[in-house]
């Protein structure tokens, strides 16, 4: 199947509400305003995917400062509306996000949490060289199972 025609944009004040609506439609977690402000501040690493001017997917990240003027990029969400799954939109969003992160010499690592029973997501991220890390018990307060696995990807800057 050929790639669907998709246009991309970074998260901006003007499209932040669209991201909130998309996340509510896809995820069982209601993200607070503070998270959306962090996503807005992340710059080009957070990306939106549009098909015919309709938001169909997004990757939303926050940057976490660490000692030595370095940062880690936490992937808060990566989601695509159900009718658009299987069309490489999620892959393209993650590729764009990682590419943008590699442009910043200070961002050394990308990481995220995935529910331990979400084998599809774990397989997906492993395709992009994310390593399976530690399991955090009771990470999710309102999900069953509540445990999460940490997936990590070391970033090498692109010249």
Per residue of the chain (159 residues), give pLDDT as tens: 556 899 999 999 999 999 999 999 999 888 999 999 999 999 999 999 999 999 999 999 999 999 888 999 999 999 999 999 999 999 999 999 999 999 999 999 999 999 999 999 999 999 999 999 999 999 998 888 999 999 999 997 555
Which of 36, 113, 125, 153 is flagged as catalytic? 113
Tell me the pTM: 0.93
Domains of the chain with CATH codes? 7-154 (3.40.630.30)
Active-site residue, 153 included: no
Mention every residue, 6+ apart, whose C-beta is less than 8 A from residue 83: none
Taken in order 40, 44, 46, 50, is the CA torsion positive or negative?
positive
- The DSSP annotation for 28-58 comes to SS---HHHHHHHHHTGGGSEEEEETTEEEEE
Which of 31, 50, 74, 84 is flagged as catalytic? 74
Active-site residue, 113 included: yes
Instruction: State CA 50 to chain mean position distance.
Output: 16
């Amino acid at each position: 199947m050929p790639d669907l025609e998709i246009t991309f944009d970074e998260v901006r004040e003007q499209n932040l509400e669209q991201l909130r609506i998309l996340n509510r439609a896809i995820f069982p977690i209601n993200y607070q305003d503070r998270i959306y402000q962090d996503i807005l501040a992340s710059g080009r690493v957070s990306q939106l995917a549009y098909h015919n001017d309709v938001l169909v997917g997004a990757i939303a990240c926050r940057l976490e400062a660490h000692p030595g003027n370095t940062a880690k990029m936490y992937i808060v969400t990566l989601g695509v509306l159900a009718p658009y799954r299987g069309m490489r939109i999620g892959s393209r969003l993650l590729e764009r996000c990682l590419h943008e992160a590699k442009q910043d010499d200070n961002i050394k690592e990308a990481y995220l949490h995935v529910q331990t029973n979400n084998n599809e997501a774990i397989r997906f991220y492993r395709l992009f060289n994310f390593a399976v890390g530690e399991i955090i018990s009771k990470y999710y307060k309102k999900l069953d199972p509540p445990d999460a696995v940490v997936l990590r990807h070391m970033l090498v800057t692109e010249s």
